[in-house]
Amino acid sequence: MRRPPVEEHASTQEVLTGWGGTVPTMAEVVSPAAVEDLATLVAGRPRRGVLARGLGRSYGDAAQNAGGLVARLDRLDAIGPVDRSTGRITCGAGVSLDRLIRTLLPLGWFVPVTPGTRQVTLGGAVAADVHGKNHHRDGTLSAHVVSLTLVDGRGQVRTLAPDDDLFWAVPGGMGLSGIVVEVTLQLLPVGSGHVVVDTTRTASLDETMETLEEADRTHRYSVAWVDCLSRGARMGRGVVTAGEHAGGDDALAASRPDGRQGRWRPVGGTTVAVPRWAPGAPLNPVTVGLFNELYHRRAPRLARSIEPIGTFFHPLDAVQDWNRLYGPRGVVQHQCTVGDAEAMRRVIGVFANRRAPTFLCVLKRFGAEGRGPLSFPQPGWTLAVDLPVGSDTAGVLDEVDAVVLSSGGRVYLAKDSRVLPAAFSEMYPRLDDWRHLRDQLDPDHVFRSDLSRRLHL
């Protein structure tokens, strides 16, 4: 039986925000049942444009389209079989990384790149060209995409591979080059659902950076929590964790104290939920400083452990709706990348000197720049921090952005809700290259978002 056209599908008017809960806008939301329905929707050229939305985990306004149409891709979530000869899999863009990882691990496979949460869709991960703890070695997700299928601005379904220049308009393009509906991905073989983790507590920013650099030479995965409140000699002290996938014997030894075979939890333990009525946490320099002190002291000076994959890669996923802890005004995440260590010292120095109450401060090193003109990573350092929205938040981040701009760095669009067009153009010197490719896929600019209007894309 032929499906009804997408115009007959139920739609709802919804207020949408990013994960930060800021800048809400209203849009008409639909959930196409098939790619053909989505193509018909796009070909109709909605007056205020159309945009795909996954699980809403971009922090700012990237997945919002005020007054326009937003297409959720949750029904395009098929997971194909793994081709064991090549290690490749083809999946619908609406499948979550959570479900994909849970499916793959018992088969001995893992996604090649994962961000800090698995509660994102595969299509959204490609559109943001996500990076992970292994960027220094394996690059962004787009480096492992064999091909993708998208609906372009004319409503045509087309398949692109990395040897086609148009492919590179999509990773980092935040859904403005086309709506990804299917992805073929090169997977990573793993021996278990666990990670062997080396933990090092550091006493200063210099030691944190030196430890991270050494970890990059010896481990596939590395990341550091840094104390962005401490000043003086203790500024940037941290906890560095570096990991490698565990073999089967390692995982079994970790599952029971006596080393006998037992069940292991490949993704993580039980989650707890933050209720809707929860008051905002009293996040101020005093309370955050206390948390940072306790967290730093609890970390071992030097230790090795075996952890479930979920605990190592996605610790915040254990707290459902953790963004509510920041209160009704929301949370701003700022992630930047700069090329040299001295610039990163200046960035962290701004947070420390301004006494910004942030306890989620993640420092990593990036490898080579990606091929996509709007891909975020560049060689050097990256820092991501969460800040509760307050009277001084904008001032602190303006000061950080000044350092980032002066050092040739950039901010991450998947986290941003505030950068101005002139600054963005300076941060992304290949913006015109992306526009040229985007215009071939979407000449009438059917794909629009609050972010695209703010940045004049």
Delimit the domains of the chain by residue range.
Answer: 88-190, 194-421
38-76 pLDDT tens trace: 999 999 999 999 999 999 999 999 999 999 999 999 999
Q: How far apart are CA 149 and CA 183, in angstroms?
A: 6
| Nearest CA-CA partner of 364 in 260, 209, 159 | 209
pLDDT of 98 above 80: yes
Q: 208 with 131: CB under 8 angstroms?
A: no
The lowest-confidence range among 206-215, 249-258, 406-415 is 249-258
For residue 229, what are its two tokens?
């409140």
Average pLDDT, the chain: 90
Q: How far apart are CA 327 and CA 318, in angstroms?
A: 19
Q: How far apart are CA 156 and CA 152, in angstroms?
A: 5
Give the CA-trace dihedral at 381, 240, 388, 345, to 10 degrees: -40
Q: How far apart are CA 302 and CA 38, in angstroms?
A: 52
- 11: buried, middle or exposed (CB in 10 Å: 19+, 13-18, 0-12)? middle
CATH architecture of 194-421: 2-Layer Sandwich (3.30)
pLDDT number for residue 86: 97
For residue 256, what are its two tokens?
């029971």
**342: Cβ–Cβ under 8 A, 6 or more apart, which residues?**
none
**283: Cβ–Cβ under 8 A, 6 or more apart, which residues?**
326, 357, 359, 388
Q: How far apart are CA 289 and CA 283, in angstroms?
A: 9
The lowest-confidence range among 153-162, 185-194, 268-277 is 268-277
- Res. 6 pLDDT band, cuts 50 70 90: very low
Report which secondary-structure segment, H or E, holds 183: strand 179-186
Q: First and final CA of the chain: distance in angstroms?
A: 41
pLDDT number for residue 425: 97
Q: What average pLDDT does range 104-109 have in this prediction?
A: 96
Output 140 or 355, whichever has higher pLDDT. Answer: 140
Q: How far apart are CA 367 and CA 358, in angstroms?
A: 26
The lowest-confidence range among 189-193, 200-204, 353-357, 361-365 is 353-357
Q: How far apart are CA 345 and CA 343, in angstroms?
A: 5
How much is the pTM?
Answer: 0.91
pLDDT number for residue 7: 44
For residue 242, what are its two tokens?
């570096």
pLDDT number for residue 317: 87
372-426 pLDDT tens trace: 999 999 999 999 999 888 878 899 999 999 999 999 999 999 999 999 999 999 9
% of the chain at pLDDT higher than 70: 90
Q: What average pLDDT does range 207-213 have in this prediction?
A: 97
Q: What average pLDDT does range 297-306 have in this prediction?
A: 92
Give the CA-trace dihedral at 318, 324, 66, 8, to 10 degrees: 60
pLDDT number for residue 283: 67
pLDDT of 252 above 90: no
Q: Would the CATH topology of 88-190 be identical to that of 194-421?
A: no
CATH hierarchy code of domain 88-190: 3.30.465.10
Q: How far apart are CA 211 and CA 247, in angstroms?
A: 25
Dihedrals φ, ψ of 136, to 5°? -60, -20
pLDDT number for residue 253: 53
Which amino acid, 219? H
Pairing of strands 319-320, 272-273: parallel
274-288 pLDDT tens trace: 556 555 556 677 777
pLDDT number for residue 236: 93
pLDDT number for residue 58: 95
Pairing of strands 69-72, 25-30: parallel
pLDDT of 256 above 50: no
